[in-house]
Amino acid sequence: MKKQNVSDTVIRRLPRYYRYLDDLHVKGIVRISSSTLGEKMGITASQIRQDLSCFGEFGQQGYGYNVDELRTEIGHILGVDNQHRLIILGVGNLGHALMQNFRFRDAGFLLEAAFDIDPRLIGTEVAGVPILDYARLEEFIPVHRPDVAVLTVSQAVAQSTADHLIELGIRGFWNFTNVELSTSVENVRFEDVHFADSLLTLSYRITER
């Protein structure tokens, strides 16, 4: 079902569809029209139909979408049923916050371990997840083969940590460091979280008035 060359904009809307559909599902709503879904999400019905057409045929004329079916289908496209494995690098405040509050399972990820160099943290646990010595990465990765590393290290060591992890075989990075990471190795994906983009959007909206 997955087509080639789906635009970045459409890909980035998929998690939003998933989130809204999941919310409707939890609320017990069985079906929804593209126009009602569009209203909720602030996009047009035709945009929704166009986005979804990238991945197959969904919905029925006059009926709309079956919420649970579409949610399951989009979840599948996103890979939430793939059970990716994930490790966290750097257990400062942000790493700690993610370990404690973020629902990795809901996104289809299994958080296996966190790594740090601070001896006060090594050997402890947060929310049932062990914090291991950064020096043990090289033995850990070949055995556990995590798919994704969450980078919550300091900016100064962001690139060198990524390089080390790439060398050990990691290909997916959820990057909170605000450093633009780069590599010459193929098929490495950096997904950067830019808090500022969101705050600037808010700035625009409150400046508008």
Question: Which contiguous run of DSSP H or E holds residue 173?
Answer: strand 172-175
Give yes or no for residue 11 binding a second copy (CB under 8 A).
Answer: yes
Q: Which is nearer to a second copy, 35 or 60 (CB)?
A: 35
One DSSP character per residue, 180-197 reads ----SSTT-EEEE--HHH
Q: Which is nearer to a second copy, 139 or 167 (CB)?
A: 167
Give yes or no for residue 45 binding a second copy (CB under 8 A).
Answer: no
Q: Which is nearer to a second copy, 31 or 55 (CB)?
A: 55
Residue 208: CB minimum distance to a second copy, A: 7
Residue 60: CB minimum distance to a second copy, A: 26
Give yes or no for residue 181 binding a second copy (CB under 8 A).
Answer: no
The CB density around residue 101, as the number of other CB atoms within 10 Å, is: 8
Q: How many residues form the binding site for a second copy (CB under 8 A)?
A: 61
Pairing mode of beta strands 148-151, 84-89: parallel
Give yes or no for residue 87 binding a second copy (CB under 8 A).
Answer: no
Give yes or no for residue 29 binding a second copy (CB under 8 A).
Answer: no
CA distances from 118 to 91, 126, 132, 165 (A): 9, 14, 10, 19
Of these, 77, 141, 153, 162, which contacts a second copy (CB under 8 A)?
77
- Helices 158-167 and 137-144 meet at what angle, rounded to 10? 50
Amino acid at 66: N
Long-range contacts of 33-36 (CB under 8 A, 24+ apart): 33/64, 33/65, 34/59, 34/64, 34/65, 36/64
The single residue listed with the structure tokens 């289908």 is 73
Give yes or no for residue 92 binding a second copy (CB under 8 A).
Answer: yes
Q: Which residues within the stretch 98-157 sit at the binding site for a second copy (CB under 8 A)?
A: 98, 100-104, 106-109, 147-148
Residue 199: CB minimum distance to a second copy, A: 5
Residue 147: CB minimum distance to a second copy, A: 6
Torsion of Cα atoms, 130 then 133 then 139 then 141, to 10°? 60
Q: What is the binding site for a second copy (CB under 8 A)?
A: 2, 8-9, 11-12, 14-16, 18-19, 23, 42-43, 77-80, 82, 84, 92-94, 96-98, 100-104, 106-109, 147-148, 171-174, 180, 187, 189, 191, 193-209
